[in-house]
Amino acid sequence: MQLKIKPLRFSVVLIFSIGLLFIFLAQLIFMQFFRSSFLLKLASKQHNYFLQLPPDRGAIYDRYMRPMAVNVSTFSLYAIPPQVKNKEALAEHLNSLLGLDKNFIIERLSRKKQFVWLARKLDWEIMEKIKAQDLAGLGFIRESRRSYPNSKLASQLIGFAGLDNVGLDGLEMQYDSYLKGEPGWTFVLRDARRRDLALQDVLQPPVDGYSLVLTIDEIVQYIAEREIDKIYQKYNAKGASIVVLDIKTGEVLAMASRPTFDLNDPSAYSLESRRNRAVTDFFEPGSVFKIVTATAALNEGKFSPQDKIFCENGKYRVANHTLHDVHPYGLLEFREVIIQSSNIGTTKIAQKIGGAAVYDYAKTFGFGSVTSVGLPGEVGGVLKPVSTWSKTSIGAVPIGQEVCVTTLQLAAAVSAIANNGTYMKPYVVRAVIDKKGEVIKSFDPQSLRQVMTEETSKTMRDILAAVVESGTGKLAQSRLFKFAGKTGTGQKIDPNGAFSHTKFTASFIGFAPVEDPQIAIAVIVDEPRPYYYGGVVSAPAFKLVAEDVLKYRQANEN
């Protein structure tokens, strides 16, 4: 049979085919020469992606390399939105497994991105549960999470790191540049279904952070926190703080505040609980500040310990203000003025040596300036120049009013008296080390200045020992060791500017043992109730901490 070709139909088909060919050819040429760069990038995105490799954050150890902050392995969940076909169903699954809000998940999955985080820092068990569901479009990346094995111990001192291992408070924040390390980078290959196949050769490996070795002794820290917690609870206090220093080096052996918080769950606690009161809070110290006036008088040669001072039987007029003693005294020796904590006697001493001497020695003791201990938020307190004093200031500043101090400043000041008059700079970090234990940076004891002569130091040590033996600090007496110290009860200021008759700060500062001073301790309790005297509230805590710390140190030496 002969095939008949219809010229018109054939021509139409031929022209149409040639037209399509030209269109395809034009598209091919356009894609090859004008869109090739874009398509190559798209293909690269689909088959490999750039992945950041997080470093391990450096650890934090106490002075004996006991861990106080470490890292634990965790897994973070991510999604590839284009691979998720049923967003509602996936949101339901993750809501039941993780408790994540479904709207949050759907919003994330609706983003026009190749990669979105869904949940960070998950435990191994949770990761396994999600993997068992075999949900398309999900994947995991191994990360590390900060963990604090001692929970609340030294919480305000150590601080904490956030979700991305960035230090947010305390030493974690102060030394973040050392601890955080440097991230690395690599490529991840994917198949046609966008499943991860393998890591390519690492382009830049991560550099892990350095670790900190602290001056803190975990055992001493525990002892200090145990006792400060007891008096905080017992006296229904608004707050409390304690500092234990090594007298000869200035090392901070313990530092604690109340209220406190759990480092592993900081968001569950108030901002007030996270405040390191030992360095961030200042207060009128009351009678513990009399160590400044007494030291100035002795060191300038204006008084001897046996000089007599008439204490006006409990009432003394300074300008337009009447000064009182808790108990009325007549004639007292210089040393008895401090032992019995006479406000009138101390004021008369200050009037003889002059306000400038009191101010100068207060500055030399470190008041009015930060100690630069290496902790965030430290304040220097308040110490007014003599030129700004009022007519009544000579009866206020020498007895610890119109001046504000911190717990750490008080510990460092009494430490100077115990250390033959030498003021040591307080510090809390011993060294920065790498993963091999090699020292990157070390911090050594620093003798900053001589506050008083050795002779004055010995006299002051004897006087402060008598405060505990027969004066206002009797409740700090120990049957095991000989202690020395000074009590203080500071009146707080009411909103109307007058001294409160219901709100006080109870304090005790001291050192132990007297014959060979090793540790200095400052115990401060904010608004204790119903008792508020430093000799009643704070002195017993000093005694218990000092006894246990000295026994612990003796056991370590044997």
Distance CA 120, CA 138 (A): 13
DSSP character string of 320-389: TEEEE-SS---EEEHHHHHHTT-HHHHHHHHHHH-HHHHHHHHHHTTTTS----S-TT----EE--GGG-
Catalytic entry in 155, 241, 287, 393: 287
Q: Cα 452–462–411 angle (5° rounding)? A: 60
Distance CA 555, CA 552 (A): 5
DSSP character string of 84-143: -S-HHHHHHHHHHHH---HHHHHHHHTSS-S-EEEEEEE-HHHHHHHHHTT-TTEEEEEE
Q: Examine the residue annotation and report whether 287 is marked as an active-site residue of this protein.
A: yes
Closest C-alpha among 355, 356, 361, 407 to residue 381: 407
Question: Helix 407-418 crosses helix 454-470 at what angle (to 10 degrees)?
Answer: 110
> Is-contact 314 324, C-beta < 8 A?
yes
DSSP character string of 216-257: --HHHHHHHHHHHHHHHHHTT-SEEEEEEEETTT-BEEEEEE
Write a three-state SS string for 163-181.
CCCCECCHHHHHCHHHHCC
For residue 185 the two structure tokens come to: 């980078």
> Is-contact 487 215, C-beta < 8 A?
no
> Is-contact 181 209, C-beta < 8 A?
yes
For residue 259 the two structure tokens come to: 């209220």
Catalytic (active-site) positions? 287
